[in-house]
Structure 1
């Protein structure tokens, strides 16, 4: 009995505690001084690693550092021949992509991806069709958004982002690739290593010093600043390359795509017609001499046809019926032959620009009205090119547009159209002339120049 009790007591005894482990003393790291950028001779370099540094000193240091990074980027694109040539190639490549109905696909990860999303918004506001592709989502189905006539823009500071390297083999080998990266030579950039089989363009965006040197940690700061600045520069250069038609420059395109917010309100107030302007038929006649002379040459019987229209419903400006020229997509600025453009290209342009209400300019001189475009969609195969069938049946050439000032009233324009009809009544009608009469389009001008267009109106939309 005693033995059993003693045995239980021995089993209850706790094992002696482990000897205490003396904590290891952390070795003190010697952090190198963090100089101001540009150098500040009056500043204490050790203060940069002091956690008690005043906040405003940090703010000024960051701003000065990023300013220096942008100055370095400006120097590169001012003096480096390869960088300048590559930027020109990139502008030409994207402009050609847009002109043939393609789009710019921008791809990046992390902070570079955020920069890419911002550039997509900027490009689209300039009429440069763009979209963002996340490389991981691309491998799970989003590769379907890429077409063979697109161009891809990678944004990666390192040039070797693993997600982008995994995506690259799954892209069509004929797809042009542009890369905004820190590398100055394509040979040092892993993403451009297959440049022998792929059309690649390097856009260098290095920083003047590493971010861990500038700020004590490798947080994307100066690298994202230079990438964003270079992307903005690329966007504006492409817009100026694309939009060269008078009255349809980058400013007008941006205005058409930005009707909302403070920017849209400012545009609306600046374009409101002045109440002091009193349009008259004489002003219409002075800028459309050929049309007014046709009216003045009409005989007494014909002149009676030009009776004044009811003032209550016809004194509105013709511009109130117009579709703005700045909102109408132009498929090709003569870089692609008119005869090579397909009906599908016109339909795609109309879908991308809903504010144009199905008006499309195949070229700056070849117009498709909504009615004609809808008829083509119903009666023709989308793959048919405009050069494959009779052009007079589907488009309106610039020479056939009826030009009037945008300050004209609806009554003024209706009288001009009636005058043209009255002068042609004595002529033998042809199928071509009858078709042209049915499809007549009034082109509104901002001033006396026929090249400074404001918008278009189909005759059938103008009240009798």
Structure 2
């Protein structure tokens, strides 16, 4: 005898599987539609190239990508922001509502704003736009295919022309599923965001040994991905990025190291004669040209992200042409917990001015450099920064005295 309850349960299972397969098919078709759009529409292709160039230029200029969106679009935005950062593209997520209660201060004129909104007219985003600094470039991922029809890019308060990255769906979600829940629309928005992130990473990281793959490895030491990457070829930043997050602060005083009291003869070159390079010294130093500059007036977070985005710099960061933060103090900042504090607003300076750099000829034997450091340091908790000088009396590299004495 047939069991009616069993038949009813089996029928429900079939309906559920059918529904799930229908959703998968619709979202697959949405992606095919998106791919065809970007392959065949020259305006969409030009916009994508323009967006990639804009973000690349922003990062190189010391700015960041600010991602914003409401609801499900905001959750897609958070994923895009995380992907960008994992690829060495300095990004933050800005909640539109919180922005109007003070968080809009995170957006600076050198930044680029990425707005994600399927309708292109999300009220919270429209209310936010008048408070975005002039000069901030706008990029919008929306269902619109023409920027002239997108309210986010035709805001009367802004004279700058924004960049539209179309992310339409081929069939209305309510018509396809019987409910207007964001499904295929968020899928296509996420794919456009991922495409943007990888394209920017490929344009931004072009130096040998510092491509997108190496940067991603350096930024992903944890989890299953980190374990898998650890078994492959290691990168210079693998250890450094990990220590930035978990190493306790070194014994370092926050007394101003640019005070001449700590270095009686800061501008006097010491040790060695100009000539053949000493392999020990030059292997320890970080080339001055490899040290990135943090955004002017930046926060502790800006410094930490700048250090992570440039693996070859091994945690060295410049605040200006004459001020640098050595690795020991970058690690200290990582443990400070005040990521939103301005670097120059901290109770004591963390940068070291060029006036107090201990200048050493690159031919100086390592043992002599250690002795120079010990002799020049009056306060045992303050170790001077070593500037390695070439035959033209120019700084070619830096060494953190704290780390040198630990060897």
TM bracket, shorter-chain basis: 0.5 to 0.7
Which structure 2 residue ranges, 5 or more long, are not aligned? Answer: 1-10, 236-274, 331-342, 345-352, 370-384, 390-396
- Closer, same or farther: CA 272–144 of 1 in aligned 2, 3 Å: closer
How far residue 440 of structure 1 moved from its aligned partner, in angstroms, is 3.1
- Closer, same or farther: CA 112–458 of 1 in aligned 2, 3 Å: same
Match of 1:257 in 2: 219
- Closer, same or farther: CA 110–395 of 1 in aligned 2, 3 Å: farther
Partner SS, residue 152 of structure 1:
strand
Q: Is the 8 A contact 1:323 1:456 kept in 2?
A: yes
Match of 1:67 in 2: 28
Partner SS, residue 270 of structure 1:
coil
Q: Distance in 2 between matches of 1:346 and 1:246?
A: 30
Partner SS, residue 54 of structure 1:
helix
Q: Is the 8 A contact 2:357 2:387 kept in 1?
A: no
Q: Residue 352 in 1 paired to residue 305 in 2?
A: yes
Partner SS, residue 123 of structure 1:
helix
How far residue 269 of structure 1 moved from its aligned partner, in angstroms, is 2.2
Match of 1:77 in 2: 38
Q: Is the 8 A contact 2:293 2:306 kept in 1?
A: no
Match of 2:131 in 1: 170
Q: Distance in 1 between matches of 2:168 and 2:80?
A: 18
Q: Residue 439 in 1 paired to residue 391 in 2?
A: no
How far residue 173 of structure 1 moved from its aligned partner, in angstroms, is 3.3
Higher gyration radius (CA): 1
Match of 1:146 in 2: 107
How far residue 79 of structure 1 moved from its aligned partner, in angstroms, is 1.1
Q: Distance in 1 between matches of 2:43 and 2:404?
A: 56
Match of 1:186 in 2: 147
Q: Is the 8 A contact 2:26 2:176 kept in 1?
A: yes
Q: Is the 8 A contact 2:77 2:116 kept in 1?
A: yes
Q: Is the 8 A contact 1:133 1:142 kept in 2?
A: yes
From 305, 326, 329, the counterpart of 1:370: 326
From 200, 214, 221, the counterpart of 1:238: 200
TM-score (norm 2): 0.63
- Closer, same or farther: CA 155–368 of 1 in aligned 2, 3 Å: same
Q: Is the 8 A contact 1:329 1:353 kept in 2?
A: no
Q: Distance in 2 between matches of 1:255 and 1:224?
A: 28
How far residue 165 of structure 1 moved from its aligned partner, in angstroms, is 1.5
Match of 1:284 in 2: none
Superposition RMSD on alpha carbons, in Å?
Answer: 4.5
| Worse-matched range after superposition: 163-172 or 234-243 | 163-172
Q: Distance in 1 between matches of 2:43 and 2:234?
A: 47
- Closer, same or farther: CA 367–190 of 1 in aligned 2, 3 Å: same
From 110, 131, 137, the counterpart of 2:98: 137
- Closer, same or farther: CA 165–262 of 1 in aligned 2, 3 Å: same
Q: Is the 8 A contact 2:67 2:91 kept in 1?
A: yes
Match of 2:180 in 1: 218
Match of 1:58 in 2: 19
Q: How many residues were matched structurally?
A: 309
TM-score (norm 1): 0.56
Q: Residue 197 in 1 paired to residue 159 in 2?
A: yes
- Closer, same or farther: CA 167–294 of 1 in aligned 2, 3 Å: closer
- Closer, same or farther: CA 394–188 of 1 in aligned 2, 3 Å: farther
